[in-house]
Each structure stands twice: as C-alpha cells, then as structure tokens.
A and B are shown apart, each in its own frame.
Chain A
Amino acid sequence: MSEGRVRKELMGIYAVWWREFKVFQREKSRIVSSIVQPLMWLFLFGSGVGASVSVNDINYQDYIYPGILAMLVLFGSVYFGLYIVWDRKLDVLKAILVAPVSRISIFMGKVLGGCTDVTLQIIVLFLFSFLFPSINPWGIPLALLLLFITSIALVSMGLALGSLFESLEGFQVISAFLIFPLFFLSGALFPVDDKLPFWLQGLVKLNPLTYTVDGVRGVLLNVNIFPFYVDFIVITFFAVTMFLLGSVLFSRMK
C-alpha cells in the first residue's frame, strides 16, 4: 500500500470513530442510565447482600466492584456492536459502506468508537472508587488497560453478531443466551473457589470474562485465582480472536 492510501484509510478509521463519538455525546440519557445501573448494583444490591456476607475479609461491595466494572464493559460493548443492526435498518451505514474506505477500516473505526464509549463510562465509575475503602487506587491504570482490551473483544463480538442478524429480534436471544450467562459465569458476584459445584467451576473457567474480573480484582483488591500474566494473555487472545472474526463477518455483510 502506498503512503497516500494508508493515510486515507487512517482518515476513514478516524471518520467512523468521530461519528460514533458525536453520537455518544448526543445521547446523554443513555450515558446516564448506563452509569446509574452499575451504581445500583453496587449500592443497592451490594450493600443488601453485603450486610450479611463478606469475602476473604473484604466488604462484599468492594469485592464485587471489579465485577461490576466488567459487567459495564460487557453490556456496553456488546450492545454497542449489536446496534449496527439498527443502523443498517435505517440505512445510516449504507452511505458509509459505499465510501472508498476498506471494510476493515470501517470496522476498526466502529470498534474504537465503542471502546471509547465504554472506557469513558468506566472512568466515571472509577470516580466513585473512593467510596470503596479496600480499592487500591494505584491499580486503576492497569485495570483500565484490562477493561479496554476486553472491550475490544466484546465490541468486535457484538459487531460480528450484528452483521449476522437482519432484524432486531435477535437482541432478546443474544441477551438471554449469551450476555447474561457470560455475566453470571464470570465470578463477578461470587468467588470462584472449591466451594462451587464442579460443573459451575468448569463453566466459569471457560468464560473469557472470568479472566477480566480476576485480573481487575487482582490489581484493585489483591485477590486473584490466576497470576496476572495469565489473565492478560487470555484476554488479549480473546480480543485478537474476536477482532479477526468480527472483521471477517463485517466484511462479508451485505
């Protein structure tokens, strides 16, 4: 590829990212609700359960804080990706797809746009971290990195699924059979140890999101099952796989 060609593709990626960022800025009610929901998990659910439960001598609210961060990344990213079904229905995407920019670049712009959305929401949640005394603030940058990589994986997954579906009916199915199981089986709300039934332990360890929760919990609370490098490698592998799969499916999309 010539230098001019590369520059044009980069400008295309930036253009798509820029569009997503504008949309993000406009939809303020969506941002507020996407941040209020995890806060409710932390303060309503967390303090309710926390009244009678603590894990490894850590307050339950503090214990699930990394899990709720992962939940925000999960829901925010996958729904962002699935949103292209709607874009396609409204023909918004059509004008972008006929531009002289490769599909891969459009896909990359979309992924980066989704990751930016989610990362900004995560940063807002981090602003509340001082309310959770066990959280180590020095772990936040590393936690942010892990969550960002996870977001690349999950936005790609959402886009991959979105390019397969023609209608919005698939939303419910994906929510029920993919997003919720991924959340519940990630150890976000409970510790993954030998007290868990054997089958549940197996499923949890197959879930890539488990490694995000574990890694973030490791850097923020110093509680983990796997060494950090294992979490990091698994998540990165997950992101690369999903990114490649997503870009292939997105390129084939009609």
Chain B
Amino acid sequence: MVIIKTNALTKSYGKIQAVRNIDLSIEKGEIFGLLGPNGAGKTTTIGMLCTIVRPTSGSALIAGYDVIKEPAQVRRKVGIVFQDPTLDTVLTGQENLELHARLYGVPSDIREKRITEMLELVDLKQRSNDITRTYSGGMRRRLELARGLLHRPAVLFLDEPTLGLDPQTRARIWEYIKKMAQMEQTTVVLTTHYMEEAEQVCDRVGIIDHGRIIALNSPENLKESMGGDMVVIRVKEPPLEKIRALPYVSEVKENEGTLEIITKEAHLHLAEILSMIKDVQCVEMRVPTLNDVFIKLTGRDIREDSIEDSGSWVDSVARYRQRGS
C-alpha cells in the first residue's frame, strides 16, 4: 500500500528552485531516507510533505490526503521531529508529552497509558518528571521521537535526527528509530547527510542534489550499481592502461597520485593488480559505500559540506573482511 505519493512536487523561492519535480512513491512500513548535502532540498521536501511549506507546483498525497487541499487531515496523520530541538524546556518530559497529546486530540482515557508506553520505549520513564532542560542532547532527541509517535501517526518525518550528537549517541538514536518503526508499524521518512548511517537503517534511499532526486533504490542496489568493489591505491606512477586492460576491472580513475579502481571480486584480484604497480604507498579495498555512489553521481564528496568524517579507511577494510569471510 502506497502511503506517500508525490507528483512533480516543486518549490521555488523567487528564482531559486529548491525542489524540482520530485516524484516519490513510498510504501507503508518503509524506512525511507532522503540523502544529500546541506542545501540539497531535503528539509524543504519534508516541509512540503508535512504541510509547513506550501508547494509552488505539483502535488503530494499522505495517507490519501492532499497536502495542499487537506492540510488539517495531513497534520493529524503525521509526526514530525524537526532538525532543531523543539522541546519545551520549562516542562518535564511527561508534561511535554501531555501537551502534545492534547494538541493532537489523543482521547483522555488512553492518554496516560500511551504516554507511559512511549516513555518506556525510549527508556525515559525514570526521568519523566524532570524538567527537560536537564536532559542531555541524546535524551532530548529520544523524547522528541516519543512525542512524534505519540498520536500514532501513519508517517513519521525525521529531519536530520542525529545532527549535532556524538557518534555513540547517534548509533543509539538509530537503534531507537528502527525499534520504534517496527513496534509502531509506522512509515518513516528521514533526511540525513550521514550516508553510512542511512545505509544501515533505510530500506530505500533517494539521493537528492540541487533539488532533484538523482537516484532512488535500496542501499544494496545502489552500491551494486557501482559495478564491483573499490580498490584505492596511493602510487606515484600508475600503469593506467595496463590496469584498464584487465578483464575484471570496470573503471579506473586517477587523481593526484590516488588511483581508484572498481573491480569485481577485489579480494581475488588484488594481488595481480598490485603486482603491476611499483612503489605502492598505501592500499585500501572496500565494498562501495553510499558516499561512493554519491561521488560517482555528482562528482562531489557529500562530506565536503560537513565537518565530520566517516571514519578511517582501516575501519572500512575491517568491515569488508567481516562481510567477505
């Protein structure tokens, strides 16, 4: 069953087109990620889907309701966790959820039970009577997740749910998101620019750049579309032609002393490739990441826009070995 359907959804601010002709179809129960660098149009897209931003043209249906013609019904059907924290820091955790339950018309006879249920789900029952000003960043995010799901929305929108959190907390938040989506059987639409994280959580991802969706598939299929594994070699004089001639190599690129090879079954062929090269300084072999997919599609690294790095290449090799064995 399709729960979100957009048709040529577009938003312009003056002459700037923030989102251009987006066609999406998202199934019920899916975890869908919109990936892209800052300013790609992710937040604007989500804004249109939850009726905060009015589309310039095109249309979108959420759970059968039109975002332009029936915004009130759409709002009832969606939960939103904004990029910036929006908790009421004067109120306690419990009170934040009570306020939300009333605003969303959760009937009073089930309100208490539902609030307790959600607080337990995000492991905040113990702290529920503390003012949220005293919560850590991760706790606040968890409470916002609980708040977003309190009224049993058909779709939960999460805009950069892990932004500004440390790596450990980020990993925990993703665990909560997966767990909650499963338990509540909610469709989740999220945006992030942490490609590796999205890879682990999302059933499908849409890569968005300059307001356009440039790829749409499952993370596995997107990575497979790269045509093999990545071998990255730092070397002074690469014998480009010889490597290109190898039957299993599908792509070879050279950039300032770094040789990038895409090849099938890299673990079988690495020795032969290396035997052709003199003075190898450094070798990295890995399964392509979504970030590699992004680079291939746009010619840019998504991380150029963000400060954080995805971890060293040693980690990637270790991960590859685990999967390969």
Interface of A toward B, CB cutoff 8 Å? 7-8, 11-12, 14-16, 18-19, 22-23, 26-27, 90-92, 94-96, 98-101
Q: What are the interface flags for B52-88 relative to A under an 8 Å C-beta threshold, 1 for contact and 0 otherwise?
A: 1000000000000000000011011000101011111
Please name the residue on chain B nearest to A8 by beta carbon: B105
Residues of chain A lying within 8 A (CB to CB) of residue B127? none
Residues of chain B lying within 8 A (CB to CB) of residue A15? 99, 102-103
Residues of chain B lying within 8 A (CB to CB) of residue A90? 89
8 pairs, CB–CB < 8 Å, chain A vs chain B: A12-B103, A22-B90, A23-B90, A23-B91, A92-B88, A92-B89, A98-B52, A99-B103
- Contact between chains at B88 and A11 (CB < 8 Å): no
Residues of chain A lying within 8 A (CB to CB) of residue B147? 95
Q: What are the interface flags for B88-126 relative to A under an 8 Å C-beta threshold, 1 for contact and 0 otherwise?
A: 111100010011101111000000000000000000000
User: Which of B50, B52, B103, B105 has the most chain A CB atoms closer than 10 A to its own CB?
Assistant: B103
Kindly state the separation between the CA atoms of A101 and B51 in the bound complex, as whole angstroms.
Answer: 13
Kindly state the separation between the CA atoms of A19 and B89 in the bound complex, as whole angstroms.
Answer: 11
Please name the residue on chain A nearest to B50 by beta carbon: A98
Please name the residue on chain B nearest to A254 by beta carbon: B52
- Contact between chains at B105 and A100 (CB < 8 Å): yes
Residues of chain B lying within 8 A (CB to CB) of residue A95? 80, 82, 86-88, 100, 147
User: Which of A12, A14, A22, A98 has the most chain B CB atoms closer than 10 A to its own CB?
Assistant: A98
Kindly state the separation between the CA atoms of A165 and B292 in the bound complex, as whole angstroms.
Answer: 45
Kindly state the separation between the CA atoms of A12 and B84 in the bound complex, as whole angstroms.
Answer: 23
Kindly state the separation between the CA atoms of A208 and B95 in the bound complex, as whole angstroms.
Answer: 38
Residues of chain A lying within 8 A (CB to CB) of residue B105? 7-8, 11-12, 100
Kindly state the separation between the CA atoms of A25 and B85 in the bound complex, as whole angstroms.
Answer: 23
- Contact between chains at B76 and A100 (CB < 8 Å): yes
- Contact between chains at B75 and A98 (CB < 8 Å): yes
Pairs of residues from A and B, 9 with the lowest C-beta to C-beta distance, nearest first: A15-B102, A99-B103, A100-B75, A95-B86, A8-B105, A100-B76, A91-B86, A94-B86, A15-B103
Kindly state the separation between the CA atoms of A19 and B101 in the bound complex, as whole angstroms.
Answer: 12
In the assembled complex, the CB of B118 is this many whole angstroms from the nearest CB of chain A, namely: 15
Q: What are the interface flags for B224-249 relative to A under an 8 Å C-beta threshold, 1 for contact and 0 otherwise?
A: 00000000000000000000000000
User: Which of A15, A23, A26, A27 has the most chain B CB atoms closer than 10 A to its own CB?
Assistant: A15
Q: Which one, A16, A22, A101, contacts B91 given CB within 8 A?
A: A22
Residues of chain A lying within 8 A (CB to CB) of residue B103? 11-12, 15-16, 96, 99-101
* Given A92-B88, A99-B104, residue A18 in contact with residue B82 (CB < 8 A): no
Kindly state the separation between the CA atoms of A15 and B102 in the bound complex, as whole angstroms.
Answer: 6
* Given A22-B95, A99-B100, residue A91 in contact with residue B72 (CB < 8 A): no
Residues of chain A lying within 8 A (CB to CB) of residue B104? 99-100
Please name the residue on chain A nearest to B90 by beta carbon: A23
User: Which of A8, A26, A100 has the most chain B CB atoms closer than 10 A to its own CB?
Assistant: A100
In the assembled complex, the CB of B284 is this many whole angstroms from the nearest CB of chain A, namely: 42
Please name the residue on chain B nearest to A27 by beta carbon: B90
Q: Which one, B50, B91, B102, contacts A12 given CB within 8 A?
A: B102
Residues of chain B lying within 8 A (CB to CB) of residue A101? 103
In the assembled complex, the CB of A83 is this many whole angstroms from the nearest CB of chain B, namely: 12
Residues of chain B lying within 8 A (CB to CB) of residue A26? 90, 131
Kindly state the separation between the CA atoms of A158 and B140 in the bound complex, as whole angstroms.
Answer: 31
- Contact between chains at A14 and B102 (CB < 8 Å): yes
Kindly state the separation between the CA atoms of A100 and B87 in the bound complex, as whole angstroms.
Answer: 17
Kindly state the separation between the CA atoms of A26 and B91 in the bound complex, as whole angstroms.
Answer: 9
Kindly state the separation between the CA atoms of A94 and B100 in the bound complex, as whole angstroms.
Answer: 12
